[in-house]
Chains A and B, each alone.
Chain A
């Protein structure tokens, strides 16, 4: 008797969960439909390609990094610094005539160094992730300003460096552009790590209740370090792609990813019945934001209005996400 009642209760919950998850998918489709009708160029192959390569890839990789961090119950405000450091080191090395592979490697190491710094502050000095990464954000911005005499961009459009950039951003394999391939690789790796591996379980446990993870014999400090280093590495990959795409290093440009990546991750949490961040959900969130940005541009909203629009969208998503969470409790 009681068992059947229980099943019915979870049945109702499942239906509620489905409605909540579908609501994001439905919103996404509705927005696509709206822009398709409002702008004839929206559904063209060229535009969708442009959205994918220019709006989705880089944001998605940063958002994947933040998905891991938010799953672990933390936050990383310094994603922009990781992006910028990789980009800065990469571009500066190319400008100095070093090889592309060397530049990419050292660039990624620079991003990893940011992650290591975060990890030390959080796991060794026990500073809360928010403040630790905020401090690193300050220091990272200062470092960039000092290294570029106050924020002068470095442009390397032509010549040797330009060719190196093209080798990253403009090549394609079997018709698929290199950046998209990189994204797919990142998605597969992060999905396996977060949702299939022992490490992912530890991350979810730390996010749900750090004390329980510690009392269950998990090596919490080590896992947490890997979380922040992994996030920084993903941001570093974005930094390399970013500088290869725009063929330059523009100081402090990485910060633009922060709000969008947080927004995308939280949009994604509405997709899971337990309101947890997931890889699929985050990707859906990234697509939603990218489509909205592109669509607003196509129907004639300027960059400034877009910022308001995205802010409002993220605000509404947070409202729904936290509203659902509150309703459950």
Chain B
């Protein structure tokens, strides 16, 4: 299994690629060899050079040195369109599809079918339908628009677009990020079939179990170079992670010992038609409670109700014994609830405002009198929080745009510390975050809990839930299907409960 592929089998060969951005050596003598008919994983922390080497292959970045061969031929400077002509296609992380196009139009965009300058929508739609049937056994309503497809179907349309252009190499960047388990499985089945047809698939992912499940070979990148290519069937995952971060994986989930106090957040019989029913649970002072469920299970909607983003139709929400009426985030924030949203740039921090303006945004009342901001008071508090969370910023008036992703996330958390929130809701705080930043976020969670906050962590990363939480609640089809803690808290049970399999019912709840 570990034999090097023979020269004739090589689809993509990148040798000694280097790329420098100013003082930063993004790629240093990096190699990547991908054989035909294999699924080749590419892993590494953010900044390890994964995306840079992919951009070099895509013709978006010009390497400073190194050679690239595609299907055995050495190619000159690549451009996005010349790469496509060579049969190398990219499925980007964002669903890069025109929402108002039909499936046929999306599949054949820029390679329209028709006669001369004229196009035939009918033949494009028909051909697209044939391809979808042949490769994915998927039948969509005729003329359906991309915006009406599910996330997974959109991903499949993107892949179909590549197949329609006779792709010989397919590069997928985090393709499973927005998919539910079942969709991931069908995507993997498709990728395996394409591999068996002789297509080379490059698969970039942060999810280690996916790499182990799917890939025939994995190249690990660190500090701008490849630190090794291994067979995941023979190399344990912790070893691969160790290669990525060059330190012991045991540090990933810091241990803590916190005294768990009185109930802080109490939710009883919460219900919203079509989303969830009869949800009751509580989160105590100092406790980290996980909440998980597949997409569409209602877990996300529960969290949104707790922050007033959606309105529950039944039931009550209490913080420290006081019932809150949550019709908008205004009430939630006033009631002491904080939310770290999934989409940081859209909802978490305003990148065009300064660190100071961001941090004090939710707590201006504390730094003002008669409607006017007291700058001295504000500056003092902000400087304190910057020090406390060790936010790396030149100063409080620096725009958040100029900070790194991890520090931006810290600014988002500092906003709620400044507000003295007591209940923290975190919505997928570590999606697409590299291992190093994850550890920092986990440490911060532990500290918050240590200071007496109640924490509700919505996550679909089972590893993370098991590692971080005291207790995990599972939502299935709009109802709580299980509660796990202590020795019962493991990935098997969580997965079984979230996918509706009969599992041990919650015995921990009293």
Contacts and interface: CB of A to CB of B under 8 A. Distances in A.
**In-complex A–B contact (CB below 8 Å):** yes
A205 B347 CA distance: 11
B347 A211 contact: yes
Given A208-B353, A215-B348, A274-B352, A6 B373 contact: no
Interface residues of A: mostly helix, strand, loop or mixed? helix
Given A215-B329, A215-B347, A201 B364 contact: yes
Contact of A204 (B357, B371, B395): B357
Interface in B459-500: none
B372 A205 contact: no
Interface in A2-16: 3, 6-7, 9-10
Interface stretch (A102-110, A192-200, A247-255): A192-200
Nearest to A325: B352
A7 B347 contact: no
Nearest to A275: B352
A208 B355 CA distance: 13
B444 interface: no
B350 A209 contact: yes
B341 interface: yes
A208 B350 contact: yes
Contact of B361 (A3, A212, A274): A212
A274 to B, nearest CB: 7
A205 B361 contact: yes
A278 B493 CA distance: 57
A317 B265 CA distance: 53
Interface stretch (B38-46, B219-227, B245-253, B330-338): B330-338
Contacts of A205: 350, 353, 357, 361
B361 A10 contact: no
A6 B415 CA distance: 23
Contacts of B358: 212
B394 A213 contact: no
Interface stretch (A126-134, A137-145, A216-224): A216-224
Nearest to B375: A196
A55 to B, nearest CB: 32
Contacts of B303: none
B395 A10 contact: yes
B362 A217 contact: yes
Contact of A196 (B307, B365, B373): B373
Contacts of A212: 346-350, 358, 361
Given A197-B371, A201-B373, A204-B353, A216 B361 contact: yes
B351 interface: yes
Interface string A76-90: 000000000000000
A214 interface: yes
Nearest to B421: A217
Nearest to A2: B392
A204 B373 CA distance: 14
Contacts of B268: none
Contacts of B307: 215
Contacts of B329: 214-217
Contacts of A201: 357, 360-361, 364, 373
Contacts of B368: 197-198
Interface residues of A, number: 26
B352 A208 contact: yes
A116 to B, nearest CB: 21
A190 B329 CA distance: 28
B339 interface: yes
B398 interface: yes
Contacts, number: 83
Given A10-B394, A199-B371, A274-B399, A217 B360 contact: no
Interface in B371-403: 371-373, 394-395, 398-399
Nearest to B368: A198
Nearest to A11: B394
Nearest to B394: A6
B265 to A, nearest CB: 17
Given A212-B347, A215-B339, A216-B329, A198 B394 contact: no
Nearest to B415: A216
A217 B352 contact: no
Nearest to B399: A274
A73 to B, nearest CB: 10
A211 B348 CA distance: 8
Contacts of A208: 350-353
Question: Which of A6, A209, A216, A274 gathers the greatest number of chain B CB atoms within 10 Å?
Answer: A216
A198 B362 contact: no
Contacts of B399: 274
Contacts of B332: 217
A209 B341 CA distance: 14
Contacts of B333: 216-217
A198 B366 CA distance: 11
A136 B4 CA distance: 71
A197 to B, nearest CB: 5
Contact of A211 (B346, B353, B365, B415): B346
B334 A217 contact: yes
A10 B397 CA distance: 10
B406 to A, nearest CB: 15
A214 B347 CA distance: 8
Nearest to B335: A217
A175 B476 CA distance: 77
A198 B372 contact: yes
A3 B371 CA distance: 36
A204 B398 CA distance: 16
Contacts of A10: 394-395, 398
Question: Which of A204, A211, A212, A217 gathers the greatest number of chain B CB atoms within 10 Å?
Answer: A217
B365 A218 contact: no
B346 A198 contact: no
Contacts of A218: 330, 361-362
A219 B330 CA distance: 6
Contacts of A9: 394
A222 to B, nearest CB: 9
Contacts of B349: 209, 212
Contacts of B373: 196-198, 201
B346 A209 contact: yes
A188 to B, nearest CB: 13
A197 B368 CA distance: 8
A211 B309 CA distance: 11
Contacts of B395: 10
A7 B394 contact: yes
A209 B351 contact: yes
A294 B358 CA distance: 43
30 contacts: A3-B394, A7-B394, A10-B394, A10-B398, A192-B372, A196-B373, A198-B368, A201-B360, A201-B364, A202-B364, A204-B353, A205-B361, A209-B346, A209-B350, A209-B351, A209-B353, A211-B343, A212-B346, A213-B350, A213-B361, A214-B329, A215-B307, A215-B341, A215-B347, A215-B348, A216-B329, A216-B362, A217-B329, A217-B333, A217-B334
Given A209-B352, A215-B307, 13 more contacts: A192-B372, A197-B368, A197-B373, A198-B364, A198-B368, A199-B371, A205-B350, A212-B349, A213-B350, A215-B347, A217-B333, A217-B334, A218-B361
Counting from the closest, the 3 A-B pairs by CB-CB distance are A217-B333, A209-B350, A208-B350
Interface of B: 307, 328-330, 332-334, 339, 341, 343, 345-354, 357-358, 360-362, 364-365, 368, 371-373, 394-395, 398-399, 415
Interface of A: 3, 6-7, 9-10, 192, 196-199, 201-202, 204-205, 208-209, 211-219, 274
